Structure 1
Amino acid sequence: MGGIGTPRRTSGTLGLYAAFGCLGYLLTALGAILPELRAERGLPRGEVALYPSAFALGLVVIGFTGHWAAARLGRLALPAALAALAGGACVMALGGGRLGSGLGALVLGLGGAGLVQLVPAALRAAAQPGDGTIQIGVANAVSSAASVLSPILIGAALAYGLGWRAAFAVPPLIMAAVLLLVARPAAPREAETGKEASGVEASEPAPRAFWSRWLDLVLAVGVEFCMVFWAADFLGDVKGLGSGAAATLSAAFVLGMAAGRAASAPVVRGAGRPDRLLAGAALVGVAGFAILWASPAPLAVAGLLVAGLGVALLYPVILGQALGAWPGRPVRAAARCALASGVAIGVAPLALGVLADAITLRAAVFVAPALLLILLARCARRLRPATNR
């Protein structure tokens, strides 16, 4: 990958990293509370999986309309996304019944999708020249580090009989308030969003290389969120851990992702072709899933950690490649990448949950490594011409 340099840490980029941290916290928090929602309301897994699907619907909406909204909101786009993220979490925690929780998850998804769209585009703009892969990797490392906290805090709250609600909503609400009142996260450059607003080159089609990476993104995000949303339930139902311990130890997956993304800069620089890096990461992820599935509880947690290490670099590397494949339309490209995340989060975890109701969760978890193997095959196909020269 050419043009990769040291990430510039201005106050604006630090604000972007912190905003992604809020998102990471809430994504794993949503997974950690699914067993509690299922127990509170007596729901099957297929129905409780509709809460992540409501979140994913927000991503899909932004995927189609986000470039338009960002162009019209301008500098208010990032604050609006942060406010929606924190507000959705509060509605989900305080809203009564299925409708209130579903509405909160949808608003949370709209805010999260706004961040997924705006933060990578802003980081890539700040990284010029270059594709922003390292900067996006740092943002995802911060997100993963924050995501480690939510299962731990929710697990501790459950262990002490405090319930999940305060641990779910209060920490990201405080961070979002600080960012909105004090920090000023950088937005994508006005020239880029202005071009979107005016319609100049609005009809420019996405290159074929972009759609290839878009499909890779669907696969990678699907794997990630199958585990983010179902790891706690898997440890409790299949490995026999209590609810508090299962919620806490499910953090092993995002801990592995945080560690992998923290080391992203030297790994990306030294890996050469991105598909070679992606193939190696997918193999590590498959090995982690094998340990998770075949081992008793203590070693299964180690398998979650290894799987997280493998999955860690998939999203930032693929996202950097996707944005680099459509450099003339960064905001539109980021919106389409948010759509990819929405499709993945809306389909893969729901399919796993429905399949778990139909057979068993122990068997249904194979959805995740199957997606990894498809991604591995796609990377191998792209690498084959280079190896045959």
Structure 2
Amino acid sequence: MSEAAVLRRTSSTYGLYLTLGCLGYMLTALGAILPELREERGLPRAEVALYPSAFALGLVVVGLVGHRLAGRLGGLALPAALVALVGGAAIIAVTGGRLGTASGALVLGLGGAGLVQLIPAALRTLHGGDGTVPIGEANAVSSTASILSPVLIGAALAQGLGWRFAFAVPPLALAAVLLLTRRAVAPVAREDAVPAAGERTPRTFVSRWSDLVLAVGVEFCMVFWAADFLRSVKDLGSGSATTFSAAFLVGMAVARAVSGPVLRAVGGADRLLAAAAAVGVAGFAVLWTAPAPFAVAGLLVVGLGVALLYPVILAQALAAWPSQPVRAAARCALASGVAIGVAPLVLGTLADLTTLRAAVFVVPALLLALLVRCGWRLRTEGQATLPRT
């Protein structure tokens, strides 16, 4: 029987889904306000990209030491991470200087990294198996929530209301409800086994970790720069560009909502990842070449392709190191931090040196690298199963 067929969703499951939804909202909200921060303060794109890098620094810190901190905090780890997430958003909203914004992004990143580490591991503890289906559903909720932030911020900008209220208040309100009703809780994941002498990180985990860096890099290049691309390259207005950048998130939400049936239909992680990466490249071609209305459609297709990369790779990575679930989750958060800290910053720096239209080729380059890696694994596995003559 399939994992999706036996999945029993409880109030704890839905609480974890909604908690990850807060993170989804905040990540895209941070991307949606980057053009406004750049315009408010007259900053180059490379400097604006340092704010996501501050967020990513939080992911790196938690990725390195989060497994120890989670063990000490126990059941308080998830509420603490959620408080840090929305607290960082509040700092960004109420401060106007560069230092305050960077500090808020760092705190937001620490909280977000905690959620990235804790929620997938908690879902695997709750439901058993490799967690692909519940992790996919949690990311579908996160993607759905992520659609709201550019829409709400774009609407506020179009009405001349600024970005701050729509940026911070919705996640603060949801977090307050989750904390007061004690829905932001997670079962403590099974403790890591004591490593055997000389035990090394499994090669399969390292391979999936590398895939995760590529996939997260693609996703956040789009999250952080899609609005600016539509505004600067496709000549949409500020509010319209921010709103229509949600097409990428709509595509992700739709694909993740049907992740269970897609996983069962395609069969095989690498086959699915290769197909998803190819769809992403095709959507990028439309985005880059077509005029504004069709470019938005291309952005939607990119979202459809990219959507399943992260949850599928994450589930495969966690399953590849079963003896060290907490450490594996922390190292996956580290992969996200490396990707978010490097890829959008490289894209922004290249945009300053050349043009944003040229710099966005970072996205298909990462997708093609992932596609090659998946193709190589499929070819290797096929050769391994060929009968000898």
TM-score by length of 1: 0.96
Give the Cα–Cα distance (whole angstroms) in 2 for the partners of residues 205 and 142 of structure 1. Answer: 35
Q: Is the 8 A contact 1:118 1:188 kept in 2?
A: no
AA aligned to 1:39 is E
| Structure 2 counterpart of 1:114 | 114
Match of 1:167 in 2: 166
Q: Corresponding residue for 2:10?
A: 10
Could you say which residue in structure 2 is the equivalent of 1:61? 61
Q: Compute the displacement of 1:188 (Å).
A: 4.0
Say if 2:233 is the partner of 1:238.
yes
Determine the C-alpha separation between the residues in 2 that align with 1:345 and 1:370.
16
RMSD: 1.4
User: Aligned residue for 1:251?
Assistant: 246
- What pairs up with 1:68-217 in 2 under 5 angstroms? 68-128=68-128, 130-189=129-188, 192-193=190-191, 195=192, 200-201=194-195, 204-217=199-212
1:202 Cα shift?
A: 8.3
Corresponding position of 2:322: 327
Residues 287-323 of structure 1: per-residue CA shift (max 9 Å, x gap): 0000000000000000000000000000000000000
State the Cα distance separating 1:219 from its structure 2 match: 0.1
Equivalent pair of 1:13/1:185 in contact (CA under 8 Å): no
Pair 1:387-2:382 in alignment: yes
Take 1:350 and 1:159, find their aligned partners in 2: how far apart are those partners? 28
CA positional deviation for 1:211: 0.5
Secondary structure, aligned partner of 1:201: coil
CA distance in 1, matches of 2:381, 2:316: 18
Deviation at 1:205, TM superposition (A): 2.9
- Matched residue, 1:352: 347
Q: 1:216 to 1:259 in 2, by over 3 A?
A: same
Q: For 1:157-181, what per-residue CA distance to the aligned partner results, in whole angstroms no more than 9, with x for missing partners?
A: 0000000000000000001111111
Unaligned runs of 5+ in 2: none
The alpha-carbon deviation at position 330 of structure 1 amounts to 1.0
Distance (Å, rounded) in 1 between the aligned partners of 2:11 and 2:184 = 7
List aligned pairs for 1:220-239, cutoff 5 A: 220-239=215-234
Aligned equivalents of 2:188, 2:301: Cα separation in 1: 38
Distance 2:112 2:136 in 1: 17
Partner deviation per Cα, 1:38-95 (whole Å, 9 max, x = no partner): 0000000000000000000000000001100000000000000000000000001111
C-alpha separation in 1, matches of 2:2 and 2:216: 25
User: Do 2:75 and 2:188's aligned partners in 1 also have CA atoms closer than 8 Å?
Assistant: no
Which residue pairs with 2:274 in the alignment?
A: 279
| Deviation, structure 1 residue 385 | 2.8
What is the rounded CA distance, in whole Å, between the counterparts of 1:286 and 1:7 in structure 2?
33
Amino acid at match of 1:223: V
Question: Tell me, what secondary structure is at the counterpart of 2:322?
Answer: coil
Aligned residues: 383
1:342 paired with 2:341, answer: no
The verdict on how the C-alpha distance between 1:213 and 1:321 changes in structure 2, with shifts beyond 3 A counting, is same
1:288–1:306 CA contact under 8 A, matched in 2: yes
Q: 1-side partners of 2:146 and 2:317: how far apart?
A: 24
Q: Deviations over 1:186-231 (max 9, x none)?
A: 42435x24x57xxx33875321100000000000000000000000
- Contact map agreement 1:4 1:131 (CA 8 A) in 2: no
CA distance in 2, matches of 1:107, 1:186: 20
Q: How far 1:271 sits from its partner (Å)?
A: 1.4
Inter-partner Cα distance in structure 1 for 2:163 and 2:185:
33
